[in-house]
Amino acid sequence: MHRAISITRTHAPTTDTVTLAYDERFLRRKLLTTDQGDGFFVDLPETVSLNAGDAFKLEDGRLIGVRPAIEALLEVKGVDLVRLAWHIGNRHTPCQLGPDRLLILQDHVMRNMLIKLGAELRDVSETFTPEGGAYGHGRTHGHAH
């Protein structure tokens, strides 16, 4: 079995891809299967947050590109989008920001709260790449930065 030894963020040409949901793109050690069916083991020195354009570099030099999976999301729109974004962020919910909408993972509690706040909601199926943390690229652990 091949082993991934590093991550490249250069959009370099890849020999294969691996499609991962948002929660699956935060890892350090894990057995993965490429979209063509080849297995490889990820063994990185620290946990990383991956997005489209990133690639696993295998021991033999091949690059396996990362593709975000299509996920069930909740599209949030409304007259006061900034206020809605504040309430989403106040609950530490990952959120993808757009010029006229927000995207969050499907969640019935968040749905109910947003309806009460007057949001316009729609179920969508798209890739999900929420805004990263303020103190670094991608996700962070806890509040100790």
The pLDDT of residue 60: 94
Query: CA-to-CA distance for 41 and 29, rounded, in angstroms?
Result: 7
Residues 41 and 99 placed together within one structural domain of the fold: no
**Does residue 137 surpass a pLDDT of 70?**
no
In a domain, 132, yes or no: no
Residues 50 and 27 placed together within one structural domain of the fold: yes
For 27-39, what is the HEC assignment? EEEEEEECCCCCE
How deeply is 144 buried, as exposed, middle or buried, from its count of CB atoms within 10 A (0-12, 13-18, 19+)? Answer: exposed
Residues 39 and 53 placed together within one structural domain of the fold: yes
The pLDDT of residue 41: 97
Predicted confidence (pLDDT) per residue in 40-72, tens digit: 999 999 999 999 989 999 999 999 999 999 999
Number of domains in the chain: 2
CB 3 within 8 A of CB 64: no
In a domain, 139, yes or no: no
Predicted confidence (pLDDT) per residue in 104-131, tens digit: 999 999 999 999 999 999 999 999 999 9
The pLDDT of residue 145: 36
Range of the domain at 103: 70-127
Residues 62 and 111 placed together within one structural domain of the fold: no
Predicted confidence (pLDDT) per residue in 7-43, tens digit: 998 777 899 999 999 999 999 999 999 999 999 999 9
